[in-house]
């Protein structure tokens, strides 16, 4: 990718805060981010002269990650230089100024183990899809209310409560007496229900 394309990519990304502003609500919406990357790729392909290979959204995203990671490394080395020895006449990275809009949005990630920054971003995107959305919350509220109504109906059923009150006595009976009680209860219920003598 030519330097001109990289500058176009950086400028295009500035128009889509969901791609770099972690505080933006849209930052966690992977569908909006994917659409934004496609728009960034299309914008780069249509601005200026025609390219042989158009930049697709996924390629734009990968190139942006490289640029962003380089910017973060440069920022880190500049901080170390300021706090350490004299800087001398070292040059800064050529895109440092144009990417300085990221400064308020970047947090230094402390990583341990084998995770890379790319792994962390993928994990953030997965977690963002798992966070409850308003629709999920609404469904949970409805299910909770239905459970409450069902519990109230169970509490108000006098027949069920009466039969449950007989349960401790029934459980104290031996096997033969339990069988006899079941038969007698069924006879009484049958007689009352069908009116037979």
Q: What is the pLDDT of residues 29-80, one digit of tens each?
A: 888 888 888 888 888 876 555 444 566 788 888 888 999 999 888 888 888 7
Predicted pLDDT at 52:
44
Supply the pTM of this predicted model.
0.48
What pLDDT does residue 145 have?
83
pLDDT band at 152 (very low <50, low <70, confident <90, very high): confident
Let me know how long the chain is. 197
Among residues 111, 130, 149, which one ends one of the domains?
Answer: 130
Whether residues 180 and 98 fall in one domain: no
pLDDT bin (cut points 50, 70, 90) of residue 180 is very high
Give mean pLDDT, residues 150-171.
78
Asked whether residue 112 falls in the same domain as residue 59, the answer is yes
pLDDT at 110 over 80: no
Do residues 28 and 115 both lie within one domain? yes
Nearest residue to 125 via CA among 33, 190, 192? 33
Fill in the DSSP letter of residue 195.
Answer: -
- CA distances, 115 to each of 35, 59, 138 (Å): 27, 22, 36
* 114 and 158 fall within a common domain: no
**138 is in which domain, residue-wise?**
134-194
Residues 173 and 99 in one domain: no
Of 130, 156, 186, the residue at which a domain comes to its end is 130
Say what percent of the chain tops pLDDT 70.
71
Tell me, yes or no, whether 126 and 146 share the same domain.
no
Q: Write b or e for each residue in 141-176: b if 16 or more Cβ atoms lie within 10 A of its Cβ, otherwise e.
A: eeeeeeeeeeeeeeeeeeeeeeeeeeeeeeeeeeee
Q: Does residue 4 or residue 119 have the better pLDDT?
A: 4
- Tell me, yes or no, whether 118 and 24 share the same domain: yes
The predicted model gives 157-165 an average pLDDT of 78
> Rounded to the nearest 5°, which phi and psi values hold at 49?
-80, 160
């Amino acid at each position: 990718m030519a330097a001109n394309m990289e500058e176009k990519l950086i400028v295009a990304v500035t128009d889509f805060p969901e791609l770099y502003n972690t505080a933006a609500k849209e930052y966690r919406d992977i569908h909006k981010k994917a659409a934004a990357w496609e728009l960034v790729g299309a914008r780069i392909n249509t601005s200026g002269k025609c390219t042989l290979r158009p930049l697709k959204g996924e390629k734009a995203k990968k190139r942006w990650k490289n640029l962003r990671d380089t910017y973060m490394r440069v920022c880190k080395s500049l901080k170390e230089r300021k706090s350490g020895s004299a800087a001398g006449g070292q040059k800064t990275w050529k895109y440092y100024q144009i990417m300085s809009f990221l400064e308020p949005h970047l947090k230094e990630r402390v990583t341990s183990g084998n995770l890379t920054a790319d792994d962390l971003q993928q994990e953030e995107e997965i977690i963002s899809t798992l966070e409850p959305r308003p629709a999920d919350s609404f469904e949970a509220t409805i299910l909770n209310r239905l459970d409450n109504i069902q519990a109230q109906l169970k509490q108000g059923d006098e027949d069920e409560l009466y039969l449950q009150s007989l349960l401790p006595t029934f459980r104290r009976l031996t096997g033969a007496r339990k069988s006899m009680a079941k038969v007698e209860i069924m006879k009484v219920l049958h007689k009352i229900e069908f009116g037979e003598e």
